[in-house]
Amino acid sequence: MAGGILLSRLAGLVRQRALNHFLGLGMEADAFLAAFRIPNFLQNLFGEGALSASFIPVYSRLLGAGDVAGARRVAGAVAALLGLVVGVVVLLGQLAAPWLVDLLTPGFEGPKRELTILLVRILFPGAGVLVLGAWSLGLLNSHGRFFLSYAAPVVWNLAIITGVIVAGLRGDARAVAVAGAWAAVAGSVLQLLVQLPSALRAAGGTPLSLGAGDPNVREVGRTFLPAFLNRGVAQVSAWVDTLIASLLPTGAVAGLVNAQLLYTLPVSLFGISVAAAELPAMAADTGRQADPGGALRTRLAAGLERIAFFVVPSAAAFIGLGHMVAGLVFQSGRFTSGDAVFVWGILAGSSVGLLAATQARLLGSVFYALGDADTPFRAALVRVVQATVVGYLVATRGPGLLGIDPRWGAAGLTASSGLAAWVEFAILRRRLARRLGPVGLPSGRLVRLWTLALGGLAAGWGVLVLAPALPVVPRALLSLGAFGLVYLGGAAAAGIPQVREVTGWLRRSPARR
């Protein structure tokens, strides 16, 4: 799964680099990236979040109990119901685009607002298609087939990259934004077509129906609402961040989105991948284990250790070498070294809560496997309320108090969200401990990982001091490479088992992976 996500995220970084090359952090970039978020709400809300949390546990539990026919009926009913609901929501999104833009980006006016409305209307149908792709993802994951579903977005990104480059070589920034939106719709269709045949073969057929009277379909519906609300809270948080950033000077929205694209790479690779891979297995365990609590504790402990091993250095690199990360990935054309430093500040703020956010994903999967979607929702609600109140005050008032450019309020906004992620994690850990016993990582393990990461930062900055005149790409590669070598070498010397897992995986042939 991590391999598929890595390919997808790398393609996403290339997509963003192409956009940055032609749009920079200007008005068209703000409009495109804000518009991109509005219909993506539909995909994230209905798709990989709420649908996975409600559909996969029921479907996997039926498979674990040997009820293949029942699992197929549930899959067919969910597909039919999802198609109906998404069709209505897409239509409403088309009609309500002006109001959505005014609600979510109240700071946009004039040409920026009009362009954002146009882009939202173009993008909404494509987001609806991506939701149906999430249904295919649920089937494939439940049958232990992870790579295709998580690598499928590569074709979506390639479609956008192609559209942006073709338009960029011929037209102005506005034409690039419009072409990128239409290319995203075409890519959505391609992404669905890549997954659907394999998903249908894995399930052995999914008869479409509305599932009337089926208790398993009712269970999916019962857990969908709190999962929907949980994902809704998370999406509202992203919307609020965009709303607040729209009140800041031009470039704040684009800088925020660029930073979040980098931030979500380790979240997806090491948080979502572990949580999503474990969810079907945990749900199947509850359907066939005499003592599911013991199996869940074992899986949870291993998952938390794996997440921390990769996320601690990710957070350290973002906080200490984020300008090199942003420069390596984005610096080209209209995107300058000053823009990279600005993105670094925003990225460092969000990285404060990176470890908490990724571990919370896994804790949430445990609750979903147990049929409890209420607890993750309540914890997420607390996080969002705190992040919104504190983030607004820090973003809008902080720069004035410090006497700095108001645009830097975006960094205060993400730092507030990072601190709120620790509150969410603490709530989930405490509630889960009441059901399974103590959960979490030993403090000694975290101290060792952070010590190794700090050693890596020292090596990375040593390279920067010794080679100040190198161009950004080789300078970034050398400094980040030194960071990684010191961290991994120290971890190997300390006998941390995750190093052996990685090297063992690399030694195996692709077929055995």
Using alpha carbons only, give the angle 138, 144, 150 rounded to the nearest 5 degrees.
55
CA neighbor of 57 nearest in space, from 283, 217, 363: 283
Q: Which residue shows structure tokens 């509005």?
A: 38
The DSSP secondary-structure symbol of 270 reads: I
pLDDT over 90, % of the chain: 32
**pLDDT tens, position by position, 36-93:** 877 666 666 665 566 666 777 777 778 777 778 888 888 888 888 878 888 888 888 8
CB 359, CB 425: distance < 8 Å = yes
pLDDT in tens, 101-156: 888 788 888 899 999 999 999 998 888 888 777 788 778 877 777 788 778 889 99
Averaged pLDDT, 314-319: 96
Is residue 427 pLDDT above 90, yes or no? Answer: yes
The mean pLDDT of the chain is 83
Please, are residues 141 and 56 in contact by the beta-carbon 8 Å criterion?
yes
Helices (H) and strands (E) in the chain, counts: 20, 0
Model confidence at 227, in pLDDT bands (50, 70, 90)? low
Tell me phi and psi for residue 69, to 5 degrees.
-65, -40
The pLDDT, as a whole number, for residue 284 is 65
pLDDT of residue 49: 60
More confident residue, 370 or 469: 469
At 318 the pLDDT is: 96
pLDDT score of 510 more than 60: no
What is each CA distance from 206 to 50, 105, 210, in whole angstroms? 20, 41, 12
| Residue 340 scores a pLDDT above 60 | yes
Q: DSSP secondary-structure letter at 408? A: G
Residues in contact with 2: Cβ distance below 8 Å, sequence separation at least 6, in sequence order: 269, 270, 273
**pLDDT category, 333, cuts 50, 70, 90?**
confident
The residue-averaged pLDDT of 300-308 equals 86
N-term to C-term CA, the chain = 11
Q: What is the structure's pLDDT at 103? A: 82
Residue 393: band (very low, low, confident or very high) from pLDDT cuts 50, 70, 90: very high
pLDDT of the residue at 511: 46
Burial class from Cβ neighbours inside 10 Å (0-12, 13-18, 19+) for residue 153 reads buried
For position 180, what pLDDT does the model report? 93
Q: Which amino acid, one-letter code, is at 238? A: A
Return the SS3 of 332. strand
How far apart, in whole angstroms, are the C-alpha atoms of residue 447 and residue 451? 6
